[in-house]
Amino acid sequence: MSNYTRNKGVVLCIVAVIVAGALTIGLLSYYGTNFFNWNTGYDWDNTVEYNFERSEASMPAVVTLDLDIDAGAVSISFENDSSLLYRIMAETPNETVQQHGAPVVTYESGTIALDYQAAGVNVTLGTGCTYIMQVDIGAGAVSLVLNETASIGDVTLKTSTGAISLVMNPTVQLHQNPEFKLETGIGAIAAVVDLPTAAGGRFSGSASLGEVDVTATGWNNIEGDVYETPDFDTAEQSLTITASSGTGAVSAVLTVS
């Protein structure tokens, strides 16, 4: 079996579980890091766990989460804690630590940053501020769950090889008119978006070698795989979602509460 065939099968398996909602408990806690041994070149059987947490008595208005991981998985979720800036658990192969040192999370000038070679990362964010996200994974998977406690601005989730999942609750607080960009080179994308009633929405899906499957309730098919809510141009707030895959499927379930 070729690496491409094996990777594509793993990616599609991940997405099937994503849609079922299993990733709301986190990629690491559900799968374990052994699951991500596929074609990453790292030994996930011997790992070290690192924990980082920061709370603020006075939270900033907007914070950027910037994650850059060469290989692994990232799961991002929210909890109802107004003083929690971040809680991050990173599990990384021991050989990576020996070669590159331990991972370090920094917070400077309103940006939470983690740049590391290989790690499975669970991120928990609080309710005291709005988050902008920039997540770039080489080989791996990304899951973002926006529950009723989340306040969110622009989001970019990108992988070279791997799956991307987005789940959004209709009571999410949108900051201004955010844009969500989901992009993978080889992999599948799954989005389940329940749009807040007061916001307009636009979704555009594309796959160079793969299918785009969209189920939309309360959204109009504008052309091809582009969908908009009737009030997209007139609503006080709008959310634009772009999902693109080079080789892989794009699936979306779009509703309006």
Structure confidence by residue, pLDDT tens digits, 239-256: 999 999 999 999 999 999
Tens of pLDDT along 93-106? 999 999 999 999 99
Distance CA 245, CA 186 (A): 7
Q: What integer is the mean pLDDT of 174-200? A: 95
Kindly provide the residue ranges of all beta strands, DSSP E only, lying in 58-178, ordered along the sequence: 62-78, 84-93, 105-108, 111-125, 130-146, 151-161, 164-168, 173-174
Burial class (CB in 10 A: 0-12, 13-18, 19+), 199: buried
Q: How many domains does one find in the chain?
A: 1
Q: Is the confidence at residue 39, as pLDDT, over 90?
A: no
Q: pLDDT value at position 41?
A: 66
Q: pLDDT value at position 21?
A: 32
Q: pLDDT value at position 40?
A: 57
Are 48 and 109 in contact, with CB atoms under 8 Å apart? no
Are 245 and 211 in contact, with CB atoms under 8 Å apart? no
Are 140 and 133 in contact, with CB atoms under 8 Å apart? no
Torsional sign, CA 21, 255, 241, 10: positive
Instruction: Provide the residue range defining the domain that includes 59.
Output: 3-256
Q: pTM to 2 decimals?
A: 0.87
What are the tokens at 106? 């920094």
